[in-house]
């Protein structure tokens, strides 16, 4: 038995003109039901609320104003859940709705409560259906989670899933856009998401959705960092989703040798909001990443932002690349005074509770 998160986007659930594609919903319910019958824990992350509701509310096309999107989502979410409930009931499966926002993930208590709810639903053999709470999100509805790609990765890592399947209308990642370049070839497996992989990932999504291949690749990177193997590809015919989970799908597989992260590390790496940044030299980069040491003042080159002990900061190298995040033990002014100094010198000059700028237990490499 495995724990599997499946993400289905708007373009797979709704028509280009808006409104639900009931036949597609029943098809995906049958595929998920097959995974369920095999004894797996199944979590569904779905998009489609805004796309399902904007026609019903009277808009001619997908709205662009935030309050209009929220109104469309309020109508569409009810329609979406009704369609899922009807489809799953044919297989004797009960589904539950969970709506989340970015704020829920940034608050450690709220996301812990959400996880406990998911665990209880799975224990009772109920399929949680998760969507972003568009009706109360503000900036999030504009930025969103990349048509819930990002959300699905966060759910997968949070729930310590074994696998994440992101269903799209493309059969995987190609070296170029196969619709424009006849020489484009599919990339079957990815072990590391490099800048080159991100560069070929493409841009925006469909007319009814917001996610493109780029957001799916970025979601895969989060999932891989959390120890979750990810599939990105197409599911159109009966049995293709179970086949994809078994490694025989029409898509690209993103493999990982990482182990699942504790909730504290997940929050730090994926959900926290950094309030400043610290630039470090190459010696400190090596100490943090390869030797798994704490960050000491001697390795600090530059400090920016207004932070205090206990805040989360980003750590970057001298080329501007993000190395990771950590909980800082210094205020900005203290670290500016201590930057580049030996630990003995810092103890003589600056009054701090701990000599480590960031302790290794309060750090995650990204």
Q: What are phi and psi of 321, to 5 degrees?
A: -80, 140
Q: What percent of the chain has pLDDT over 70?
A: 93
On whether the CB atoms of residues 36 and 30 are closer than 8 A, the answer is no
pLDDT (tens digit per residue) in 3-12:
999 999 888 9
User: Which range among 128-132, 181-185, 238-242, 361-365 shows the weakest confidence by mean pLDDT?
Assistant: 181-185
What pLDDT does residue 147 have? Answer: 66
Band (143; pLDDT cuts 50, 70, 90): very low
Query: Is the pLDDT confidence value at 207 over 50?
Result: no
Mean pLDDT of all residues in 322-351: 95
Instruction: Write out the two tokens for 77.
Output: 């979410």
Query: Is the pLDDT confidence value at 2 over 90?
Result: yes
Q: Cα 51 from chain centroid?
A: 21
Band (179; pLDDT cuts 50, 70, 90): confident
Q: Which residues pair with 326 in a beta bridge?
A: 313, 363
pLDDT (tens digit per residue) in 304-314:
999 999 999 99
CA distance 196 to 239: 33
> Across the chain, what does the average pLDDT equal?
90
User: Which range among 37-51, 56-70, 190-204, 272-286 shows the weakest confidence by mean pLDDT?
Assistant: 190-204
Tell me the fold of 273-365: 2.30.130
Query: Is the pLDDT confidence value at 145 over 60?
Result: no
CA distance 38 to 188: 26
Three-point CA angle 114, 115, 116, nearest 5°: 90
Q: Cβ of 193: how many Cβ atoms within 10 Å?
A: 17
Band (211; pLDDT cuts 50, 70, 90): very low
CA distance 324 to 42: 31
Q: What are phi and psi of 7, to 5 degrees?
A: -110, 130
What pLDDT does residue 22 have? Answer: 92
Q: Where are the domains of the chain?
A: 3-264, 273-365
pLDDT (tens digit per residue) in 71-111:
998 999 999 999 999 999 999 999 999 999 888 887 888 88
pLDDT (tens digit per residue) in 228-253:
999 999 999 999 999 999 999 999 99
- The upper half-sphere exposure of residue 187, i.e. CA atoms within 13 Å in the direction of its Cβ, equals 21
Mean pLDDT of all residues in 36-60: 92
Q: What is the 3-state secondary structure (H, E, C) of 148-175?
A: CHHHHHHHHHHCCCCEEEEECCCCCEEC
Q: What are phi and psi of 139, to 5 degrees?
A: -60, -30
pTM (2 decimals)? Answer: 0.84
Band (142; pLDDT cuts 50, 70, 90): very low
Q: Could you check whether 3-264 and 273-365 share the same CATH topology?
A: no
What pLDDT does residue 204 have? Answer: 43
What pLDDT does residue 138 have? Answer: 54
Query: Is the pLDDT confidence value at 146 over 60?
Result: no
Instruction: Write out the two tokens for 255.
Output: 């493999």
CATH of domain 3-264: 3.40.1160.10
Question: For strand 276-280 and strand 300-305, is the pairing parallel, antiparallel, or unpaired?
Answer: antiparallel
């Amino acid at each position: 038995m495995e724990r599997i998160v499946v993400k289905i986007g708007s373009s797979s659930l709704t028509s280009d003109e808006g409104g639900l594609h009931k036949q597609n919903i029943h098809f995906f319910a049958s595929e998920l039901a097959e995974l369920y019958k095999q004894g797996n824990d199944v979590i569904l992350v779905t998009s489609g609320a805004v796309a399902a509701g904007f026609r019903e509310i009277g808009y001619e096309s997908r709205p662009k104003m935030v309050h209009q999107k929220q109104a469309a989502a309020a109508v569409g979410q009810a329609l979406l859940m009704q369609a899922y409930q009807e489809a799953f009931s044919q297989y004797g499966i009960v589904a539950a709705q969970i709506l989340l926002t970015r704020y829920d993930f940034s608050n450690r208590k709220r996301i812990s409560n959400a996880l406990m709810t998911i665990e209880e639903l799975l224990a009772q053999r109920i399929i949680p259906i998760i969507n972003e709470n568009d009706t109360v999100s503000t900036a999030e509805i504009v930025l969103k989670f990349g048509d819930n790609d990002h959300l699905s990765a966060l759910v997968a890592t949070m729930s310590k899933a074994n696998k994440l399947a992101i269903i799209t209308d493309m059969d995987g990642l190609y070296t170029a856009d196969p619709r424009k370049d006849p020489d484009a070839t599919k990339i079957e497996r990815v072990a590391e998401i490099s800048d080159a992989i991100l560069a070929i990932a493409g841009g925006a999504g469909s007319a009814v959705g917001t996610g493109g291949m780029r957001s799916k690749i970025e979601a895969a990177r989060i999932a891989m960092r959390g120890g979750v193997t990810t599939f990105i590809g197409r599911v159109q015919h009966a049995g293709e989703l179970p086949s994809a989970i078994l490694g025989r799908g029409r898509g690209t597989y993103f493999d990982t040798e990482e182990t699942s992260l504790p909730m504290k590390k997940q929050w730090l790496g994926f959900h926290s909001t950094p309030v400043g940044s610290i630039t470090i030299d190459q010696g400190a980069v090596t100490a943090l990443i390869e030797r798994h040491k704490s960050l000491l003042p001697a390795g600090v080159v530059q400090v920016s932002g207004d932070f205090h002990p206990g805040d989360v900061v980003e750590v970057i190298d001298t080329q501007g690349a993000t190395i990771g995040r950590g909980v800082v033990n210094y205020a900005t002014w203290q670290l500016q005074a201590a930057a580049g100094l030996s630990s003995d010198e810092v103890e003589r000059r600056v009054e701090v509770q701990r000599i480590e700028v960031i302790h290794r237990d309060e750090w995650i490499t990204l």
